[in-house]
Structure 1
Amino acid sequence: MIRVNFKSHNKEIECNKGENLLEIARKADIFIDAPCNGNVSCGKCKVKLLKGNVDAEKTRHISDEEWEQGYILACNTKVISDIEIEVPSKLSSSMHGMKIEGSDSKKDREIFDRAKKIIETHQLEFKTNIRKKYIEMEKPNLDDNISDVDRLQRYVRNHLGYDNIDFRLDILRKMPIIFRQSDFNVTITYVQKKNKITIINIEDGNTEDNLYGVAIDIGTTSVVVCLVNLFNKEVIDKASSGNAQIKYGADVINRIIYSSKGDGLETLNKAIIEETINPLLENIYIQNNINKDDVVTLSVAGNTTMTNLFLGVYSDYLRQEPYIPPFLKSPNLMGENIGLNVNPSAYVYLAPCVASYVGGDITAGVLSAGIWATEENILFVDLGTNGEIVFGNKDYMMSCACSAGPAFEGGGISCGMRASAGAIEKVNIDKYTLDPSLTIIGDSKPIGICGSGIIDLICQMLIKGLIDRRGKLHRDIKSKRVRFNEHDMGEYVLAFKEEYDLEQDVVVNEVDIDNFIRAKGAIFSGAATLIESLGMDFEDIDKVYIAGGIGNNLNIENSILIGLLPDISRDKFTYIGNSSLVGAYLALISKDAKKKLEDIGNEMTYVELSVYPSYMDEFISACFLPHTNVEKFPTTKLILEA
């Protein structure tokens, strides 16, 4: 056996000769950022060999200087002897995002207010079919010796007016003990369905005030959990973290591939349930002194791949033509079916999907945006790890998905990260010194850059003359922040390590810029093709809603200048935040909203962009700054000409 000592984590693990270093780290539960899932294309799994010998090759991702210092790619390294490894903290930018982030009461209130506005505007009923009732039953004796179940049935029929009750085995097992501990005075939690109720919890004594639900947004990069008081429908607390599946790839395609190999599906299911959602739930319970058995219903929204992996369903056919999902609507689910840290009988509802790449996060987002009830033409763009677009109104809703990749949440960018503490979220470059002015989340030192910061940076580099319209750095610029390596690949230094006491400089290189240009090109060309398929153009848009994890600091003007969004009147644009979470919350607190969400899933039409001959031409044209046809972006044209 060979020993691998991860000195940076004070952890040692045994392995066999020839094993892959990235897989060894995963077995040791050591996070090494690998957005490409180990296919040697991203270069982000760079670690330092301190002692021992390995079988590794130098790639274009490692400079001569780094190779001399012992840097290797974990995914491209086989262990052949005892070694000592250091994982640079720079690699923890994504891992930093795995930390649980607590509630912001102001934002929690925004979720409630936005949902309430939708409910009131569209006259939806602000209630669910879940009830909680304290009951006092007559105690048994020799003259009244019916079974515990019959006693409960009699009370429910005589006092609550329901002829039938139903319950699961775990309720039956609890019943004899709790009835006698409480002197037959208990609180029942039940789901009302016409003349029948399903009991999902029985508690000792009067606990009528404790009734909770949870809304969850499962993003490819981030996961958010909201604890909701089902009596007043208010959000009590919210917690978020990175999705632990990110260890196995930054985008859905890499995760689907990983899930199809060996025990990959089980590993990814465990990562989302046991390593992500359950710790978030536990954190909220502790912070608010909540018993998990009082959480009796959940509403979950996620893209089609995340929904499949959440349930542990084989997903490889999602990525294979003709791209058929295993299901669009989930079966009836209980908490115990999935292994969630909630009441075992808690109802779990999944927002319906539309197609392999338009999932429940989009139907939930459309619900919260109110597109289904307006006469205006609405363009809905979700800038998350995947790029999904919806165009329509109350009469029709067309949807499509773009292969944008994870760039909008920092994936595929050498120093990219999700919008969490330490992320650069705003950038301005001085036109004379070419030095950047940075706004950093949490006012801490910069760890990396998130989506909104990347948009600002590329826009600033374009209009300040650092890059050309292909995204290439001008070779004649004289600045300490612009430099080129031995392969003539250029990079711009956002933060020197000496400035902020960092291990390495925070830089964005030409490969990063190219990745982002492709991502923004996919979004713009997808929207253009979708609208064109209806015989319309961008001037027919009444409103543009921007959703997703890119952050509240998205600069609309900069997004237009680089060709991500169309150059139309600015007052048409609105950033609506995490619309998926708001939609999941709506479905949790309103049975009418849940019914409307089902209708949206049934009525939305999916457009497969690959069948449109014009799409690829439009995509190639959009892979410039702002576009090969600069006439489509008159604002950018004026600035560049000036």
Structure 2
Amino acid sequence: MVKVIFKPENIEISCEYGDNLLEVARKANVFIDAPCNGNVSCGKCKVKLIKGKVDTKKSHHIKDEEWDEGYILACNSKVIEDVEIEVPSKLSSSMNKMKIEDLSTERDKQIFEKSKKLILDNNMKFKSYVRKDYIEIDIPNLDDNISDFDRIKRHLKNNLGYTKVFCRLQMLRKIPHILRKGSFKVTITHIPRGSDRTTIVNMEAGDTTDRLYGIALDIGTTSVAACLVDLYKGELLAKASSGNAQIKYGADVINRIIYATKKDGLEKLNHAIIHETINPLLKKMCKDSGIDKDEIIAFVCAGNTTMSHLLLGVYPDYLRLEPYIPTFLRAPFIKASELELNINPETFLYIVPSVASYVGGDITAGVLSSGIWSSEENVLFIDLGTNGEIVFGNKDYLMTCACSAGPAFEGGEISCGMRAASGAVEKVEINRDTFEPILKIIGSNQPEGICGSGIIDLISEMMISGIIDRRGKINKNINSNRIRFDEHGIGEYIVAFKEDYEIEKDITITEVDIDSFIRAKGAVYSGAATLITSLGMDFSIIDKVYIAGGIGNSLDIEKSILIGLLPDIDRSKFSYIGNSSLMGCYLTLMSEDARYKLEECASSMTYVELSVYPSYMDEFVSACFLPHTNIENFPTVKNILED
């Protein structure tokens, strides 16, 4: 056995000789960002060897001066003796610092109210599927000595018309104590199934019919957001959000699926989402609102198809293998106790149904809250997150697809990329004469990296200022200390000098980074174009474009069009609709009618598999240019470039 100490927290763990350093960190619960899940392709798991030796190789991700200082890639190193490892603070803390939208901004509050109004305007009722009733039961005596449960069933049959009443073992164990604590005057929480059948999920002494609570939860690949809801008033009593702890096993769904196939991999991923992510959020919200966890008796959550599988601990590998078959699209109602969720164990978890392997319940929930299903106009819905999902349609039809954008919009696959957290550059302007950048940084004066919206700004500014050409290649004729080339001729632009900001190293964007991002934006644009042309239409038919996902809040529409991420159409057609998945979960939680509409949306969406669609690859290749190989598709960009 050998010993590893992780600094600066001084976390110590023993491991076997030859164990992979990244896996050792994971076992020690030390978070090291590894978007590529340890295949040595991203270079993000860079740590510093302070003491001891490891079996490692120098990677192109590590510069000569870094190598001399002891920097190594955790995923590319084996522990061969006692070592001390320093984990850069920006790696270990980035998950908890993520900037996550959770219905808290003024703009999101307006979106929230608009979605609620949508339900009412379509003659749907805000009425939960969970019921609460105060009942006063006959006190037993020697002449009326039937069992406690039979006594409850008799009362419900005679007074509420339920001829079939059920409860589970954990509830049965509570009944004798609660009945006598309340002198047989109690409040039951139950879920009716038709007019004559119901299941009791909770019981409280006295009259508590004014307290009914539920959870809406959005499980994103990168982040998780939740809200605690008063089901009577529809009010959000508490909100909480955090990074998805599964990040340490890979930034995107493919890497997590691959990790799930390893020994104990599925169990670790399941533990990460439930015990390291969801339960802490639930605990925080209960504490903030003063509500006991047993009072939470309704739960709606949405995530992409992979996240739903990992939440339930269902083997996901067939999702990524042709013909891309999920184990389920619609999960049965799951009891909270089965997943060890920290709420009332009798609460049923409703998982929003998915559409296909790569179009999940988060998109179904987004379609519900966006109102595409009731629109007379043609709406293009784009969810820009770790995955790229697109929906196009109106009240008459809904078409959907998923594009393999990868984690670039979350800063993955970009050398200085990072998620939208404190220290991330989220907006950039470049002086056309001096090539000097002006940076807007999230919550700090010191940049640590560049998030998705910042990368879009940066690439568009570099193109307009002539630093890069339309292929994304850096202009070698520009005389600026912000432009340099390595020994292989690969160019980079220096966004922030380490001396200017007193940071560890320069923040740069390389031609390799730009190429990766161009492919990501090309995947989104070509996906939307293919979806619309499959109907014999083009972008001119679009009346509205809804942008959802974490990146949308800081997204510059004009610059997104400049690089060819979004179509060059009237800017007034674009709008950001916030965390549409969380909003859809809220509506489903509050309204049984909305849940029926949600399931109807899931069933009616037609999925287009881009990988086998004849013209998709040609469209994708054309979109891997700034803004596009056919500049006529972007007339306003053409005018700017010709000025």
Distance 1:101 1:608 in 2: 30
Quote the Cα distance in structure 2 between the aligned partners of 1:488 and 1:132: 70
1:94 is matched with which residue?
94
Q: Is the 8 A contact 1:299 1:584 kept in 2?
A: yes
Determine if contact 1:419/1:551 at 8 Å carries over to the other structure. no
In structure 1, stretches of 5+ residues that fail to align are: none
Corresponding residue number in structure 2 for 1:36: 36
> Given that residues 305 and 358 in structure 2 are in contact (C-alpha distance below 8 angstroms), is that contact kept between their aligned partners in structure 1?
yes
Deviation at 1:271, TM superposition (A): 0.6
Task: Answer yes or no: is the 8 Å Cα contact 1:251–1:405 preserved in 2.
Answer: yes
Deviates more, 1:542-551 or 1:398-407: 542-551
SS of residue in 2 equivalent to 1:17: coil
Q: In 2, distance between residues paired with 1:585 and 1:538?
A: 32
Confirm or deny that 1:278 pairs with 2:276.
Answer: no
- Checking the alignment, whether the CA contact within 8 Å between 2:108 and 2:577 is kept in structure 1 is no
Three-state SS of the structure 2 residue aligned to 1:203 is strand
Is 1:577 the counterpart of 2:578? The answer is: yes
Determine the structure 2 residue equivalent to 1:317.
318
In the aligned structure 2, how far is the partner of 1:87 from the partner of 1:301?
33
What is aligned with 1:623?
624
Identity rate of aligned residues, in percent? 65
Contact 1:112–1:235 (Cα < 8 Å) also in 2: no
Counterpart position of 2:512:
511
Indicate yes or no: 2:396 matched with 1:395.
yes
- Which residue of the partner structure matches residue 488 of structure 1? 489
Aligned to 1:386: 387
Instruction: Tell me how far 1:107 sits from its aligned partner.
Output: 6.2
Question: What's the CA shift string for 1:506-536, capped at 9, x where partnerless?
Answer: 3222222111111000001111111111111
1:214-242 CA deviation, whole Å, 9 max, x = no partner?
11111100100111100011211211111
CA distance, structure 1, for counterparts of residue 226 and residue 330 of structure 2:
21
Aligned to 1:410: 411
**2:139 aligned with 1:139, yes or no?**
yes
Q: Does 1:83 align with 2:83?
A: yes
Partner of 1:148: 148
Aligned residues: 642
The corresponding residue for 2:56 is: 56
Per-residue displacement from partner, 1:50-84 (whole Å, max 9, x unpaired)? 12111111111111111111111111111111111
- CA contact 1:3–1:81 (8 Å) conserved in 2: yes
Amino acid in structure 1 at the alignment position of 2:223: S
Partners of 1:641 and 1:303 in 2: CA distance = 42
Structure 1 residue 252, shift from structure 2 partner: 0.5
TM-score after normalising by structure 1: 0.97
Query: How far apart, CA to CA, are the structure 1 residues paired with 2:93 and 2:630?
Result: 37
Partner of 2:25: 25
- Equivalent residues in 2 for 1:97-112, closer than 5 Å: 97=97, 104=104, 106=106, 109-110=109-110, 112=112
Structure 1, 501-510 or 228-237: larger mean CA deviation: 501-510
Matches within 5 A, 1:384-463: 384-463=385-464
Q: Following TM superposition, by how much is the alpha carbon of 1:577 offset from its aligned partner in structure 2, in angstroms?
A: 1.4
Could you tell me how far apart the structure 2 residues matched to 1:92 and 1:480 are?
32
SS of corresponding position for 1:165:
strand
1:189-212 CA distance string (max 9 Å, x none): 111222222111011223222211
Give the stretch that moved more between structures: 359-368 or 148-157. 148-157
Work out the CA distance in 2 between the residues paired with 1:223 and 1:563: 29
Q: Does 1:304 align with 2:305?
A: yes
Unaligned 5+ segments in structure 2 are none
1:405 Cα deviation after fit: 0.4
Cα 1:575–1:31, aligned 2, differ >3 Å: closer, same or farther?
A: same
Partner Cα distance (1:82, 1:59) in 2:
23
Closer/same/farther in 2, CA of residues 105 and 284 from structure 1, 3 Å limit = farther
Given the alignment of the two structures, is residue 501 of structure 1 paired with residue 506 of structure 2, yes or no?
Answer: no
1: CA distance, partners of 2:230 / 2:343: 15
Q: Which residue of 1 aligns with 2:116?
A: 116
* Structure 1 pair 111–170 and aligned structure 2 pair: CA distance change class (3 A): farther
Q: Which residue of 2 aligns with 1:591?
A: 592
Q: How far apart, in 2, do the equivalents of 1:189 and 1:575 lie? A: 38
Q: Does 1:216 align with 2:217?
A: yes
Q: Is the 8 A contact 1:99 1:242 kept in 2?
A: no
Of 393-402 and 177-186, the range deviating more from structure 2? 177-186
Match of 1:67 in 2: 67
- Contact 1:108 1:238 (8 Å CA) reproduced: no
CA–CA distance in structure 1, aligned partners of residues 337 and 576 of structure 2: 37
TM-score normalised per structure 2: 0.97
1:343 aligned partner: 344
Secondary structure of 2:421's aligned partner: coil
Aligned twin of 1:13: 13
Offset at residue 542 of structure 1 (A): 1.4
CA–CA distance in 1 between the matches of 2:133 and 2:283? 26
Of 613-622 and 102-111, the range deviating more from structure 2? 102-111
- Give the 3-state SS of the residue equivalent to 2:47 in structure 1: strand
Provide the rounded CA distance (Å) in 2 between the counterparts of 1:108 and 1:149.
46
Could you tell me whether the CA contact under 8 Å between 1:391 and 1:397 is conserved in 2?
Answer: yes
- The equivalent of 1:178 in structure 2 is 178
Structure 2 CA distance for partners of 1:103 and 1:599, relative to 1, 3 Å = closer
**Are the counterparts in 1 of residues 213 and 229 from structure 2 also a CA contact under 8 Å?**
yes
**1:209 match: secondary structure:** coil
Q: 1: CA distance between counterparts of 2:103 and 2:605?
A: 33
User: Relative to 1, partners in 2 of residues 1:349 and 1:41: Cα closer, same or farther, differing over 3 Å?
Assistant: same
8 A contact 2:111–2:578 mirrored in 1: no
Supply the AA of the counterpart residue of 1:10. Answer: N
Q: In 2, Cα distance between the equivalents of 1:227 and 1:527?
A: 35
Q: What secondary structure is seen at the aligned counterpart in 2 of 1:577? A: coil
Correspondence for 2:207: 206
| 8 Å Cα contact 1:489-1:510 kept in structure 2 | yes
Moved more, 283-292 or 115-124: 115-124
Task: Give secondary structure in 1 for the equivalent of 2:555.
Answer: coil
Q: Does structure 2 conserve the Cα–Cα contact (< 8 Å) formed by 1:115 and 1:585?
A: no
Cα–Cα, structure 1 residues 308 and 136, in superposed 2: closer, same or farther, change >3 Å?
Answer: same
Q: Letter of the aligned partner of 2:427 in structure 1? A: K
User: Is residue 335–residue 344 contact of structure 1 (8 Å, CA) maintained in 2?
Assistant: yes
RMSD: 1.8
Q: Which amino acid in the other structure matches residue 191 of structure 1?
A: I
Counterparts of 1:564 and 1:444, CA distance in 2:
29
Residue pair 1:226, 1:238 contacting (<8 A) in 2 also: yes
Once the two structures are superposed, residues 119-166 of structure 1 have per-residue CA deviations (whole angstroms, 9 ceiling, x without a partner) of: 122221111121222222232222222211122122222333323321
Give distance in 2, aligned partners of 1:470 and 1:100. 33
* Structure-2 separation of matches of 1:510 and 1:116: 45
Q: 1:177 to 1:281 in 2, by over 3 A?
A: same
Contact 1:128 1:590 in 2 (8 A): yes
- Alignment partner of 2:192: what SS? strand
> What amino acid is aligned across from residue 176 of structure 1 in structure 2?
P
Q: Distance in 1 between matches of 2:258 and 2:509?
A: 28
CA distance in 1, matches of 2:93, 2:558: 28
8 A Cα contact 2:336 2:346, kept in partner: yes
Q: CA deviation at 1:348?
A: 0.9
Q: Amino acid of the residue matched to residue 129 of structure 1?
A: Y
Tell me, in whole angstroms, the C-alpha distance in 1 between the residues paired with 2:485 and 2:206.
72
Task: Indicate the residue corresponding to 2:265 in structure 1.
Answer: 264
Q: For 1:297 and 1:50, how far apart are their aligned partners in 2? A: 50
Q: Which amino acid aligns with 2:277?
A: T
Q: Following TM superposition, by how much is the alpha carbon of 1:370 offset from its aligned partner in structure 2, in angstroms? A: 1.1
CA 1:513–1:99 in structure 2 vs 1: closer, same or farther (change >3 Å)? closer
**2-structure distance, mates of 1:338, 1:107:** 34
TM-superposed deviation, 1:443: 4.7
CA distance in 1, matches of 2:96, 2:151: 54
**CA contact 1:213–1:230 (8 Å) conserved in 2:** yes
Question: One-letter code of the match for 1:251?
Answer: D
- 8 Å CA contact 1:43–1:61 kept in 2: the answer is yes
Deviation at 1:425, TM superposition (A): 1.7
Q: How does 1:220-239 map to 2 (within 5 A)?
A: 220-239=221-240
Structure 2 counterpart of 1:313, which letter? V
Q: Secondary structure at the match of 1:550?
A: helix
Residue equivalent to 2:169? 169
Matched AA of 2:316: S
Verify the 8 A CA contact 1:398 1:605 in the aligned structure 2: yes
Separation (CA, whole Å) in 1 of partners of 2:482 and 2:408:
23
* Distance across 1 between alignment mates of 2:563 and 2:609: 26
Q: Does 1:563 find its partner at 2:557? A: no
Mapped to 1, the partners of 2:162 and 2:52 lie a distance apart of 73
